Structure 1
């Protein structure tokens, strides 16, 4: 397997990513033709940027490799669950445990804080690990919501090899982007031409 490519692939969001952050997370490692992959969470800086763009972390969160690795690990568990759901197969128990663990690791409400200047107030703690734990909880909860909602019936993998992205299918379209749709149509046309010879 070739090394991952660092950077943006220039693909538009797959259908459903704007409504479901977990779908965007699952699609943050993109397989490209030629055996290349693009990992939008490949470095701590990229992971911080990805979270910031989705309102899950401040720009200056100070992401470390362990935090980025936790995010990539959750991505793989979510991808596993999406694959199981899309293919109608049983889920891996470890993937279910990982989602539940991420959802229950952080408090669901801002905690009571008390200091000499402002007195009592409610706030969420902001050390980097708490930010990441909160982001993981939000992403895991979104995955659980998607997997248990009526939208789960439309969850599918992109139908254009080698693409590995997931989407919510609308109508007959089962490609994550126009580029993948064009590639799949071209492959079918090529197969028809070679078969007819």
Structure 2
């Protein structure tokens, strides 16, 4: 697939991305008509921007190629889990392992600390060297929560080809955006007209 050079072609957030960061991560590589692709994580700067917009990294995190690569790799594993869930198929063991590894690499729960003057308090360790590990752990934990929580039954793939995004279904809606819904309706209307003229 050709990669689009502009991010303007990106679609608005799909239903559920606001509640589930893992859904936003899965949808950060967007297939568009004409074989074009928008990858919101394709460079370290874009990956840093994506994480910053979601409160997972500071603006000056200094993302490196390896960090962006790790983020894209987790995205593919989460997409694999979402696809298996949507199709009712067993998950690839490597995808489950990748999510579990990301979740357990760093503590995501606030740990107990003790200050000699003020006493006990809780804080999440967040040294700058572990920013990406914390982001990956947060995203992986969200994916696990989504797949095992009450929203799991609403998780579905967009029903408009060539779109590759996922959403949380609301009612009968199976499209991630108005644009995809319009495209699907237009394709159905075209198919009906074609069928009518050939009969």
Question: Same fold by TM-score, threshold 0.5 exceeded?
Answer: yes
Segments ≥4 residues shifted beyond 6 Å: none
SS in 1 for 2:151: helix
Say which SS state the counterpart of residue 23 (structure 1) adopts. helix
Structure 1's unaligned 5+ residue stretches are 115-119
State how 1:41-190 maps to structure 2 within 5 Å. 41-107=41-107, 108-110=109-111, 124-128=125-129, 130-190=130-190
Report the 3-state secondary structure (helix = DSSP H, G, I; strand = E; otherwise coil) of the residue aligned with 1:150: coil
1:4–1:98 distance in 2 versus 1, CA, 3 Å: farther
In structure 2, the gaps of 5 or more residues are: none
Q: Aligned partners of 2:128, 2:114: CA distance in 1, in Å?
A: 15
**Secondary structure of 2:89's match?**
coil
The answer on whether the counterparts of 1:40 and 1:50 sit within 8 Å (CA) in structure 2 is yes
1:18 aligns with 18
Q: TM-score, normalised by structure 1?
A: 0.91
Question: 1:7-65, CA deviations, whole angstroms, 9 ceiling, x for partnerless residues?
Answer: 24342110000000000000000000000100000100000000000000000000000
Residue by residue over 1:112-146, the C-alpha shift from the partner in whole angstroms, topping out at 9 and shown as x without a partner, is 599xxxxx985624224x00000000000000000
2:187 and 2:41 mapped to 1: Cα distance? 30
User: Could you say if the C-alpha distance between residues 132 and 181 of structure 1 is closer, same or farther in structure 2, counting changes exceeding 3 Å?
Assistant: same
- Classify 1:123/1:21 alpha carbon distance in 2 versus 1 (closer, same or farther; 3 Å): closer
What's 2:27 paired with? Answer: 27
State the Cα distance separating 1:4 from its structure 2 match: 4.7
**Counterparts of 1:191 and 1:56 in 2: how far apart (Å)?**
44
TM-score with structure 2 setting the length: 0.91
Deviation at residue 3 of structure 1 after TM alignment: 3.3
Offset at 1:150?
2.0
Q: Secondary structure at the match of 1:22?
A: helix
Q: 1:111 to 1:39 in 2, by over 3 A?
A: farther
Q: In angstroms, what is the RMSD of aligned CA positions?
A: 2.1
